[in-house]
Amino acid sequence: MTASAEATAPAATPGRPAPAPLAPAARLLPALAAVYRAQLSRARVARMPLLFVATFQSLGILVMMRGVVDSGGNDSARAVVAGSSVLVVAFVALNLLAQYFGRLRATGGLDHYATLPVPPAAVVLGAAGAYASFTLPGTLVTAAVGAGLFGLPWAHLWILLAVVPLAGAALSGLGAVCGLLAPRQEIATLLGQLGMSAALLLGVLPASRMPEAVRLLRDLLPSTYGVEAFARTFDAAPDWAAVGADLAVCAAVGLLSLTAATRAYRRAAVSGR
Amino acid sequence: MRGLVKTYRTGRGAKAAEVRANDGISLDVRRGEVFGLLGPNGAGKSTLVRQLTGLLRPDEGSIDVLGHDLVRHPERAPRLLGYLGQESTALDELTVALAAETTGRLRGLPARRARAERDAVLAELGLEPLADRPVGRLSGGQRRLACFGAALVGERPLLVLDEPTTGMDPVARRAVWAAVDRRRAEHGTTVLLVTHNVIEAETVLDRVAVVHGGRVLACDTPGRLKALVDGRVRLELVWRTDAPPDVPVLAAAAGRARVSGRRWTLRTTPEEARELVAAVTSGPAFAALDDFTLATPTLEDAYLDLGAAQGADREGGQAG
């Protein structure tokens, strides 16, 4: 140690070099784009078979329900087609994303992101966005096949371009929260499965046939609003205001759940607080 | 100039059970140094590194990296250091090239820089033939090398590498150490290396801290650590069945030998070793002897000595 005056308590460090300059942190949008791109490529690399399972499951439900529901413009047919289409979103964005984040957390994969200067929102939104994107082809196929099977008009299927991202935001936010907060990987998987089962049971059947208590539960599920918005567009003259209101609920829930997911990520990534 | 890089004083009490993974560790690493943390599994090396990288907050103590207080500002760690952890799950489903590029982007590089650095690092490490293969489908050593490559994209003045060469073949190992040396020579990069591979530690490190039970047992150059065993030599005796009972020199040494089956390992002075070798190469002892080796101390001996001194409270051979 060099000679130093005793009185200088905080040691003005004359012999020490100046602090090293900090490298720039990644900005939100470029980082989000990088995460999104990397996540999308995972689908190609891992050829996630579950993406196909998601679509097959919904197509299976359509065929099965065709046995008990008449075709034509009745409520039940609309509910089945809209419900099984949005189910693809629930399967991938909620269930698979919960599993992905659960695995990442359990295996220490989050450390990789936590030791990079990335805004937490970039990681969460990038992954959520990619998972929501994975669902688009499956949803479109399911909706087109369903409309054909149940004799519903194809005219307004474009609404899925709004339903998928908005319901996707709400459900992937929930999925990410489940995956990031679950104390164990198995619990993350369980929560994801439960969420998807709820979307299946409460989304595919028409609300008018449900008991009051179940209907309340259904109203609590964000996917319901995506289903309703889509189902309304099968009307000859859709009530666009109601469609917009349903989508607004999805957007609001999406905003909330993605914010919660970002906080959950921050908590999970830096376990020492 | 005394280029102090970091000082820790950490005491980590975790959860109700009060496991002290790091029990008051203090270390100074100089700029431009390849510094090793050596210790058995569970010694507290990874806990230490996780605090340094901002993943864990120490309960007590301070961490100063290149003039930045990382206990108060853990968020600065990713802007100062590149970290290679033990897990690759975040990169497993990406191709080697995309893993490197994405990591560079997330280290704040503009797209073109990230691509250029990706290409440079892949070429430097000989990873080009694997560029389009998913990280998770490579062999253990290749995967490690790909993750090491990702850790290099986006230059940082400090690299923290947690067992970087696990599972690698000699060619890959050489590529890693060449890359580390190049960065040190060109940019004065400091490297903190976690390892339990003693042989590697002996060849690549400038200085090494032996960590055991959450404490630093010793911290010095590999050469000086070897000197801690006092210039004593290591004598190994292997008996055909049992050691002969009635050789006085052996009887005296038996108490100090580490006995494992038919094998005795003794650390002793060259004089006593000579005496023992003379005794076992003649008479009844020679008849009972299967094999013997006499060797100068290695870093492994120093490491084992330090660990044993700590563990069994044996009279240790540390020179003050």
Distance from CA of B181 to the nearest CA of A (A): 21
Q: Is the ipTM of this complex over 0.90?
A: no
**pTM of the predicted structure, to 2 decimals:** 0.80
Give the one of B53, B68, B83 whose C-beta lies nearest to A19's C-beta: B68
Count Cα atoms within 13 angstroms, Cβ side, for B69: 4
Give the one of A24, A46, A270 whose C-beta lies nearest to B108's C-beta: A24
Q: In the predicted model, what is the mean pLDDT of residues B111-137?
A: 94
The domain boundary residue, chosen from B157, B191, B221: B221
Residue B288 lies in a domain: yes
Angle, vertex CA B51, rays to CA B48 and CA B55, nearest 5: 130
Are B30 and B141 found together in one domain? yes
**Residue B188 phi, psi dihedral angles, 5° rounding:** 65, 30
The CA radius of gyration of chain A, in Å to the nearest whole number, is 23
Instruction: Give the model's pLDDT for residue B59.
Output: 79
Instruction: Give the model's pLDDT for residue A16.
Output: 61
Residue B265, beta-bridge partner list: B236, B258
β-bridge pairing B263-268 and B34-38: unpaired
Residue B318 lies in a domain: no
Is A111–B55 a contact, with Cβ atoms under 8 angstroms apart?
Answer: yes
Residue A73 lies in a domain: yes
CA distances from A33 to A41, A110, A204 (A): 12, 18, 34
Residue B302 lies in a domain: no
Are B150 and B272 found together in one domain? no
Chosen for mutation from A1, A37, A111, A134 (greatest number of chain B CBs closer than 10 Å) is A111
- Structural domain tally of chain A? 1
Is A104–B89 a contact, with Cβ atoms under 8 angstroms apart?
Answer: yes
Matching residue, tokens 């094999």: B291
Residue B310 lies in a domain: no
- Structural domain tally of chain B? 2
Question: What is the CA B53 to chain-centroid distance, rounded?
Answer: 17
The domain boundary residue, chosen from B191, B221, B251: B221
- Is the pLDDT score of B13 beyond 70? no
Distance from CA of A60 to the nearest CA of B (A): 29
CB A75 within 8 A of CB A104: no
- Is the pLDDT score of B70 beyond 80? yes
A112: which chain B residues are within 8 Å (Cβ-Cβ)? 85, 87, 89-91, 103
Instruction: Give the model's pLDDT for residue A124.
Output: 92
- Tell me which residue range forms the domain holding B285: 232-296
Model confidence at A15, pLDDT cuts 50, 70, 90, reads: low
Is A117–B54 a contact, with Cβ atoms under 8 angstroms apart?
Answer: no
Is B56–A42 a contact, with Cβ atoms under 8 angstroms apart?
Answer: no
Is A115–B55 a contact, with Cβ atoms under 8 angstroms apart?
Answer: yes
The domain boundary residue, chosen from B175, B191, B221: B221
Task: Compute the distance between CA of residue A32 and CA of residue A119 in angstroms, rounded to an integer.
Answer: 9
- By the CB < 8 Å criterion, does B66 face chain A? yes
- Tell me which residue range forms the domain holding A53: 28-34+48-269
Count Cα atoms within 13 angstroms, Cβ side, for B154: 32
CA distances from B41 to A77, B19, B52, B196, B255 (A): 61, 15, 18, 8, 29
Task: Compute the distance between CA of residue B22 and CA of residue B56 in angstroms, rounded to an integer.
Answer: 12
**Amino acid (one-letter) located at B245:** P
Distance from CA of A28 to the nearest CA of B (A): 10
Residue B248's CB is within 10 A of a number of other CB atoms, namely 8
Are B241 and B212 found together in one domain? no
Of the ranges B11-25, B37-51, B86-100, the best mean pLDDT one? B86-100
Q: How large is the angle between the packed helices A120-149 and A160-181, nearest 10 degrees?
A: 130
Chain A, chain B: beta-carbon pairs less than 8 Å apart: 134
Nearest to A223 by CA among A191, A201, A250: A250
Model confidence at A254, pLDDT cuts 50, 70, 90, reads: very high
- H helix count then E strand count, chain A: 11, 0
- By the CB < 8 Å criterion, does B285 face chain A? no
User: Which residues lie closer than 8 Å to B111 by C-beta, 6 or more apart?
Assistant: A30, B105
Distance from CA of A96 to the nearest CA of B (A): 15
Burial of A212 (0-12, 13-18, 19+ CB in 10 A): exposed
Model confidence at B229, pLDDT cuts 50, 70, 90, reads: low
Are B93 and B165 found together in one domain? yes
Residue A150 lies in a domain: yes
Residue B102 lies in a domain: yes
Are B174 and B271 found together in one domain? no
Residue A223's CB is within 10 A of a number of other CB atoms, namely 29
Task: Compute the distance between CA of residue A151 and CA of residue A169 in angstroms, rounded to an integer.
Answer: 30
Are B30 and B90 found together in one domain? yes
Residue B292, beta-bridge partner list: B237
Residue A188 lies in a domain: yes
Question: What is the CA B114 to chain-centroid distance, rounded?
Answer: 30
What letter would DSSP give residue A90? Answer: I
Task: Compute the distance between CA of residue A269 and CA of residue A124 in angstroms, rounded to an integer.
Answer: 12
What residue of B is the nearest CA neighbor of A267?
Answer: B55
Task: Compute the distance between CA of residue B11 and CA of residue B214 in angstroms, rounded to an integer.
Answer: 9
CATH number of the domain that B23 lies in? 3.40.50.300
- Is the pLDDT score of B14 beyond 50? no
Task: Compute the distance between CA of residue A152 and CA of residue A78 in angstroms, rounded to an integer.
Answer: 8
SS3 of residue A1 by DSSP: coil
Q: In terms of C-beta distances under 8 Å and separation of at least 24 residues, what long-range contacts does B167-174 make, across chains too?
A: B167/B139, B167/B140, B167/B141, B168/B141, B168/B144, B169/B141, B171/B126, B172/B125, B172/B126, B172/B141, B172/B142, B172/B144, B172/B145, B173/B200
SS3 of residue B232 by DSSP: coil
Is A35–B111 a contact, with Cβ atoms under 8 angstroms apart?
Answer: no
Residue B278 lies in a domain: yes
B56: which chain A residues are within 8 Å (Cβ-Cβ)? 270-272
Are B139 and B168 found together in one domain? yes
- Is the pLDDT score of A2 beyond 90? no
Residue B134 lies in a domain: yes
Q: In the predicted model, what is the mean pLDDT of residues B302-316?
A: 57
Model confidence at A4, pLDDT cuts 50, 70, 90, reads: very low
Chosen for mutation from B105, B137, B147 (greatest number of chain A CBs closer than 10 Å) is B105
Residue A96 lies in a domain: yes
Are B141 and B185 found together in one domain? yes
Model confidence at B133, pLDDT cuts 50, 70, 90, reads: very high
Are B171 and B24 found together in one domain? yes
Are B284 and B152 found together in one domain? no
Q: Among A8-12, A64-68, A197-201, B59-63, whose mean pLDDT is lowest?
A: A8-12
Are B180 and B273 found together in one domain? no
- Is the pLDDT score of A64 beyond 60? yes
Residue A40 lies in a domain: no
What are the DSSP E strand ranges found in chain B?
Answer: 4-6, 10-14, 19-25, 29-30, 34-38, 64-65, 68-69, 81-84, 158-162, 190-195, 207-212, 215-220, 233-239, 258-260, 263-268, 289-295
Are B89 and B208 found together in one domain? yes
B234-291 pLDDT, tens digit each: 888 888 887 777 777 777 777 788 888 888 888 888 788 888 888 888 877 888 888 8
Count Cα atoms within 13 angstroms, Cβ side, for B87: 16
A40-63 pLDDT, tens digit each: 888 776 666 777 888 899 999 999
- Is the pLDDT score of B168 beyond 80? yes
CB B151 within 8 A of CB B132: no
Instruction: Give the model's pLDDT for residue B3.
Output: 37
Residue A22 lies in a domain: no
Distance from CA of B111 to the nearest CA of A (A): 8
- By the CB < 8 Å criterion, does B165 face chain A? no
Structural tokens at position B18: 């009060």
- Is the pLDDT score of A271 beyond 60? no
Nearest to B311 by CA among B198, B195, B212, B209: B212
Q: What is the 3-state secondary structure (H, E, C) of A39-70?
A: HHHHHHHHCCHHHHHHHHHHHHHHHHHHCCCC
